[in-house]
A and B are shown apart, each in its own frame.
Chain A
Amino acid sequence: MDQLAFTNDPLAEAPAVPREKMQEVLDDIKGHMLFDHELHGCLNCGICTATCPSASYYDYSPREIVQLLWTENLEGIYDAMGEKIWACAQCYTCAARCPFENSPGGLVMIMREVAIKHEMESVKEVLRPFSRVLLKVISTGNQLAPNMITKEAFPDWGPDVSKVDAPLDILRKAIPVPTLHTLDTAWIVNLKTSVELFTIWEATGVLDQLESVDENLFDVVVDVMDEKREDLEDWLDEQEDEDDE
């Protein structure tokens, strides 16, 4: 096999992935600003896996992730990026324990970023349930809002999500912290703050990431951003008019 390599399993029905593609993925991982910070060596001691919560429940091992990267195993890395990296619970217990001060959790984050950059099929599937959080954080600067926590959204949390039966807006106003008197965001976010955040998203490529994961979500976010920018412009114009008077 010269130009093609299999995605780990030679009997799999999935089409073979060109070696160049896999090399490109590894190059992006190794070229990440934090790669050298997160990987220093590996003795295969397995302390990371022994203490890993996800290793108990998934076919996932932080030791394997580190070894794949340390040995630059192209097929193994590409395969792990399909599903395994999404098992990590991001607790960083592995990093706290590693005698080499590696951060397998941090390496997983680099791999997730690269998986998004390469628009790997698994990404869209894995992140589908996350779209509400993505929309919220990118459009408002808050990741969670009171009106997202409903019995319908979290039926497995049981009937006691709120133990006092009252309309949500009344319950929120009964919180003695005024910034929390809102339903759409965790706290009331200043208009200027949201607009500043949009600048950060644009300048750091986050919107491009979002577009590659979910084009519809991207369109909605752009609309919200445009609207808020216009609102701020209008307000600033009003201020200028008032100052002139």
Chain B
Amino acid sequence: MSDEKKGSFEGFGAEWKSTQLSEADKRRATDWVEAKIDKRSLLTGNRKEDIRDIMWQLEKEGEIVVHRVGDHNDPVMAKTLYGWDKKIPTNNFWHHKSCGQCGNIPGYPTSVMWLMNKLGIKYLDETDQTSCTAWNYHGSGIGNVVSLAAVFLRNYHQAYVSAKAEGLPEGTYYPLVHCGTSFGNYKEMRIFLMHSAELRAQVKEILGKLGRLVDGKLLIPEEIVHYSEWLHVMRDKLATHQTIDVSNVRATIHPACHVYKMVPEDVIYDDAVLDGNRVAVSTGLMETFGAQVIDYSTWYDCCGFGFRHIIGEREFTRSFAIDRKIKVAVEEAKADVMIGHDTGCITTLDKNQWIGKAVGKVYALPIMADCQFAAIAMGAHPYKLAQLHWHASPFETLLEKMGIDWEKAKVEFEDYLGEVSKGKIETLYDPQRAITSGPGYKKPAQLAGASNK
């Protein structure tokens, strides 16, 4: 708008007057405002609380012990919604698996571990772990804040002590949460625990019975980290191993509600990704790999999983998934794939396309997790490693676009199944490491003489 124009018809109101500043002065004034007033601080001021402040205070007062992201975890700093720092570990992980992924989308954890192997990152995947139990809670109402918090801290305590089974110091491995709901739930539980002395007392009593305290205190993680955050900070390193050009792929992103809406202040936002206005994970990875990330009008919507709906009211789940996500991604964004970073979303969007045929809503959109896409783009076998045969959506069309002969790969996998039936199984790590106590545990040589319990 030129300085000469003014008046309400121009949209500034009758009282509007130009500052008559030169172009240089306008730029200088704007820079000053941007430097002084962060857009997030306008929204939050001083009223938004960083729960970690309370956590450090409680540790100072001797009430809790904080499991730190140590130097041996090679941390990388990232920014969250309000510009706070989040310390993301990049090495020595304890895999907090997802029951939905492991049961239904096994290429998800497989890809994460394969990517780690590719980069020489150490980790432990063990059997002493439960689900977070939050899917069940949000679906049924069975459970409560005390049970959820106790399960959370039991699993995190096990992560903390797990390395002892290998003769390594406590705290070697840092938990990496695979599931979006576990991630959201644990972030929420940490807030509730920090706020409520009553809750801490109840959980402490239970964990005391289980022998799950550290120096008689609750162990609280410094950071709760989702695997997509690890992928985000590692994206440039991962891309150096890319073998397949994906620049012709039109990708839509489905961000998971429990990753970025539940405790929204604790997930990565990056000024270099979507101008820092939307959650950065997955989008940043796809852009770094050179895919075209296409925006669409229902980006913000959930997938329709609903927790109990996917089981008991599937007409809601499939209607929402098709009408609000799949249809829009296909018709509006002309997408080749929809990429997610959570268990329920991938399941919902992947499995609820076929039924659309019954009502004339015929859409076919490949659905997979960011880690699966990254692994495939880095040369992983689409069946043997990315385990795409568990997906109902037409991933074959995406593979063709990426120049991958999926028919040949399928035959190779079927041949491999023959080997598997003869007991010739390939694994990403030594299976013995998965058992850290109880039946089947074998002490490492350096622990010879110690109890097996």
Is A174 within 8 A of B144, CB to CB?
no
Q: Does A225 contact B (CB under 8 A)?
A: no
The contact of B142 among A91, A116, A188, A200, by CB within 8 Å, is A116
Given A178-B434, A179-B127, A186-B102: A90 in contact with B420 (beta carbons within 8 A): no
A-side contacts of B385, CB under 8 Å: 176
Q: Does A171 contact B (CB under 8 A)?
A: yes
Q: Does B341 contact A (CB under 8 A)?
A: no
* Min distance, Cβ B371 to any Cβ of chain A, angstroms: 13
**Cα distance A128–B140 in the bound complex, in angstroms:** 10
B209-226 with Cβ < 8 A to chain A: 209-210, 212
The contact of B127 among A130, A143, A149, A189, by CB within 8 Å, is A189
B-side contacts of A109, CB under 8 Å: 137-138, 141
Residue in A closest to B48 when the chains form the complex, CB atoms: A101
User: Per-residue 0/1 for A119-160: is the Cβ within 8 Å of any B Cβ (1 yes, 0 no)?
Assistant: 000010011111001100110011111101100001011111
**Cα distance A90–B261 in the bound complex, in angstroms:** 11
B7-35 with Cβ < 8 A to chain A: none
Residue in B closest to A205 when the chains form the complex, CB atoms: B144
Is A53 within 8 A of B302, CB to CB?
yes
Is B125 within 8 A of A179, CB to CB?
yes
**Cα distance A108–B102 in the bound complex, in angstroms:** 29
Determine, out of B54-62, B232-240, B282-290, B309-317, the stretch whose residues face the partner at the interface: B309-317
Given A37-B192, A197-B151: A179 in contact with B126 (beta carbons within 8 A): yes
Q: Does A44 contact B (CB under 8 A)?
A: no
Is A142 within 8 A of B99, CB to CB?
yes
B100, B136, B209, B212 — which one has the most chain A CB atoms within 10 A of its CB? B136
What count of chain B residues pass the 8 Å CB interface test?
A: 109
Q: Does A21 contact B (CB under 8 A)?
A: no
Q: Does A210 contact B (CB under 8 A)?
A: yes
A198-232 with Cβ < 8 A to chain B: 199-201, 203-206, 209-210, 213, 232
The majority secondary structure among interface residues of chain A is helix
* Min distance, Cβ B438 to any Cβ of chain A, angstroms: 5
User: Per-residue 0/1 for B332-348: is the Cβ within 8 Å of any A Cβ (1 yes, 0 no)?
Assistant: 00000000000000000
**Cα distance A92–B260 in the bound complex, in angstroms:** 10
Given A130-B312, A171-B417: A235 in contact with B438 (beta carbons within 8 A): yes
Q: Does B308 contact A (CB under 8 A)?
A: yes
B98, B102, B113 — which one has the most chain A CB atoms within 10 A of its CB? B102
Is A178 within 8 A of B427, CB to CB?
yes
Q: Does A14 contact B (CB under 8 A)?
A: no
B-side contacts of A173, CB under 8 Å: 420, 425
**Cα distance A222–B198 in the bound complex, in angstroms:** 29
Q: Does A233 contact B (CB under 8 A)?
A: no
User: Per-residue 0/1 for B132-147: is the Cβ within 8 Å of any A Cβ (1 yes, 0 no)?
Assistant: 0101111111111111
**Cα distance A186–B453 in the bound complex, in angstroms:** 24
**Cα distance A232–B355 in the bound complex, in angstroms:** 45
* Min distance, Cβ A161 to any Cβ of chain B, angstroms: 6
Q: Does A28 contact B (CB under 8 A)?
A: no
Is B389 within 8 A of A163, CB to CB?
yes
Q: Does A34 contact B (CB under 8 A)?
A: yes
The contact of A190 among B97, B262, B437, by CB within 8 Å, is B437
Given A142-B130, A197-B130: A116 in contact with B184 (beta carbons within 8 A): no
Is A134 within 8 A of B142, CB to CB?
yes
**Cα distance A180–B154 in the bound complex, in angstroms:** 21
**Cα distance A188–B125 in the bound complex, in angstroms:** 11
Cβ contacts A to B, 29 pairs, < 8 Å: A58-B316, A113-B141, A127-B140, A130-B136, A130-B140, A134-B142, A142-B99, A143-B136, A144-B102, A144-B103, A157-B351, A161-B390, A164-B410, A170-B421, A173-B420, A179-B97, A180-B106, A186-B98, A186-B99, A186-B100, A186-B131, A187-B99, A197-B151, A200-B206, A204-B147, A204-B206, A209-B144, A239-B453, A243-B451
Instruction: Give 5 A-B pairs besides A137-B135, A239-B452 with Cβ atoms closer than 8 angstroms.
Output: A89-B302, A89-B305, A92-B262, A133-B135, A144-B100
